[in-house]
Structure 1
Amino acid sequence: MPGQQTPLETMFLLFKASFGLSHRAVAKMILSDRPLTNGRPTAQMAQDTSWLSRTIVHSQPGSLEDRYFADWSHASKQILHALLKKGYSNDEIYTAISSTTAAMARALSHYGYNGHLYQNAISRLIRRQPDKDNRALVSIALFVSTACWCNPARAITYATNHFSFVNDVESFTLPSRIFSSQIDSKKLVPHPNLGLLRVNDTIILGGPYIIKPSTIGSVIGALALEDGAITDVGPDVSARHLRIYLDNESWWAQDLGSTNGTHLLGIEANEEVDISSGSPVQIHPGDFLRLGLSTTFAVAAVASNKSNQR
């Protein structure tokens, strides 16, 4: 049974299967024309199909150096021009790339990178691109840079620095649902690390996401780019929704001006409290945090030192 495709394999397959672009044709546009120490640029070396397959297409995710690649803005324009020349419309190009969102997210997550963040970027940034004709170009830039860097946060930062987006990324609000949880009110032993489990009633949907003890903490949000950020969230959660951090040996949650608010169901008071004002509120293992209406995290003490996906 074949293994999970890498992000680069996913990218090359999309361009070949959907647009008829060969691996060599794509490589010529995304690889650098600046000479390496051997005096040859990677764009030229890619004409050797064995080297291209071994070194680029099937490379270990995250192993390729920046000097191998062209500037993404220039490369994306070249790819767009090639696809338009083949008769594809901007909308067809965007639709094809958008259709691979789940596949790219799976590839990223499988190799330890943040697939949730990539999915959120496609949903929040690309689909809300004000110039619909420009969606194709921006989606190419995000798709290709994510595949090559294996770093969705870095790819998003590049895209937002080189293209125009809606300043305030709006949220979708889902229909209300009843939020109720039965929790044990017994006192829990504190632990240096805090963990969040994304839950829906009694079902665990994701995690644990580890928050290491520091005054910086971790940010939860659809497009949170900080180290240790948690991006496994629903569509009504803001780009940077909530921060959780340690201060004076206590854990705190602080809403960051979210659109749809944050509620805490505390283990001690056993009542739901709106904490959307932005004032830090102390939290404990056993508490539940609800972001908007779609996303609930159970707070837990954890022993794992595993880091969240990059």
Structure 2
Amino acid sequence: MLPMNASDQTPCGALFEIMKRSGGISHKELASLILSERPLSDGRSPMSRASDRTWVSRFVVHAPVGSVQARYFRDFGVAARRIMDRLHAQRRGALSFEQILDIVCGERGAAMVAALDACRQDVRLYQNALVRMRDGEGYTVGERAEAALVLFVAAGCSADVGYSVDYAMSYIRDVLGGQLGTPTSRPVRVACAGMDGALVDANRTLGVVRIIEGCISSDPYWVDPDSEGVEIGALVTGPDDIADVDGDVSARHARIWFDGAAGGCWLLQDLDSTNGTIVVSGDDGEPLRVASGETAQIHPGDELRLGATTVFILIEGSADMV
């Protein structure tokens, strides 16, 4: 069981604690696996200090977020593979690839999510990436475990979810030779219903609000009409993109932007998503399935359904909300 104060840990502290409690790797041993061999200004490398409990505790495990230097760590992919070998090949208590996946993606990995959330990182993006590594199509269980461990190590060492997801996706592409597929939607029966009543028209700023089980679950994500638009998807990392989605939403699922030509209108494009995009009219409740790669006009009051369970309502607000 993870400690009760897990939410007070830094991501790096969570990495060390989870590997110790669930993987049987001591702090000293984990330090030797992930710290860099490149010398620092004093001529000594971080790895040469792996046996120095005071230094590892002060400058790595319990160091405040933002003070841990990237040069302390070896390449995250290399570090993850070293940890994988240690977990999978140890003589006593060897862990299967399924067990490694469970440590990173399951309840025992919750301390990492709490630590990332505590330092204001996008934990939904992190969890979306883990869902793909656990459930997405196209890879063996060993490759999935490797990919998940790469993300886990990168997030723990950097405390930067956007960077870690980009790094992990590049690793999958460059080392594992492709990309993880979007998990298949499970059929869910949901009524299609629009939002009745006119909404305020103020400078054509569009808000995207997440709905879960009929309740508003997010603040509006505002789309600036003067911008290039935003993308919605499980692994989008742009500054204004929306990753607040369920696991069957594609990595880059849909794009919303304002077209100023011919009087102006809001448009949505399905970005060749796996599990589909539906726009439910706010006027009459009629659902329109947007074909893969196609574009449809959208309006405040419409409802967006991505995959089986991700629902957004579109609203309109004033320009100063962007």
- 1:206-230 alpha-carbon deviations (Å, 9 max, x no partner): 3433434444222111222333322
User: What percentage of residue pairs aligned between the two structures are identical?
Assistant: 35
**Against the structure 1 CA distance between its residues 89 and 270, is the aligned structure 2 distance closer, same or farther, given a 3 Å change threshold?**
closer
Could you tell me which amino acid in structure 1 is paired with residue 223 of structure 2?
A: I
The residue aligned with 1:89 is 95
| Secondary structure at the counterpart of residue 244 of structure 1 | strand
Map 1:213-252 onto structure 2 (within 5 A). 213-248=225-260, 250-252=265-267
- 1:119-138 alpha-carbon deviations (Å, 9 max, x no partner): 22222134446232344333
- Unpaired segments ≥5 residues, structure 2: none
| Secondary structure at the counterpart of residue 120 of structure 2 | coil
Name the CA distance, whole Å, in 1 between partners of 2:281 and 2:66. 41
Contact 1:196 1:299 in 2 (8 A): yes
Name the CA distance, whole Å, in 1 between partners of 2:317 and 2:120. 20
The residue aligned with 2:298 is 283
The residue aligned with 1:142 is 151
RMSD (Å), alpha carbons: 2.9
Deviation of 1:168 after TM superposition, in Å, equals 6.1
Name the CA distance, whole Å, in 2 between partners of 1:168 and 1:56. 32
Report the more deviating stretch, 137-146 or 260-269: 260-269
The residue aligned with 1:158 is 167
Name the CA distance, whole Å, in 2 between partners of 1:68 and 1:265. 51
Q: Does 1:131 align with 2:136?
A: no
Deviation of 1:14 after TM superposition, in Å, equals 0.7
Contact 1:61 1:111 in 2 (8 A): yes
Map 1:66-145 onto structure 2 (within 5 A). 66-83=70-87, 84-87=89-92, 88-91=94-97, 92-99=99-106, 100-128=108-136, 130-145=139-154
Deviation of 1:16 after TM superposition, in Å, equals 0.9
Deviation of 1:172 after TM superposition, in Å, equals 2.0
- Unpaired segments ≥5 residues, structure 1: none
Give the TM-score normalised by structure 2: 0.82
Give the TM-score normalised by structure 1: 0.85
Deviation of 1:295 after TM superposition, in Å, equals 0.8
The residue aligned with 1:10 is 14
Report the more deviating stretch, 140-149 or 195-204: 195-204
Which of 256, 260, 273 lines up with 2:288 in the alignment? 273
The residue aligned with 1:197 is 209
Could you tell me which amino acid in structure 2 is paired with residue 186 of structure 1?
A: A
The residue aligned with 2:38 is 34
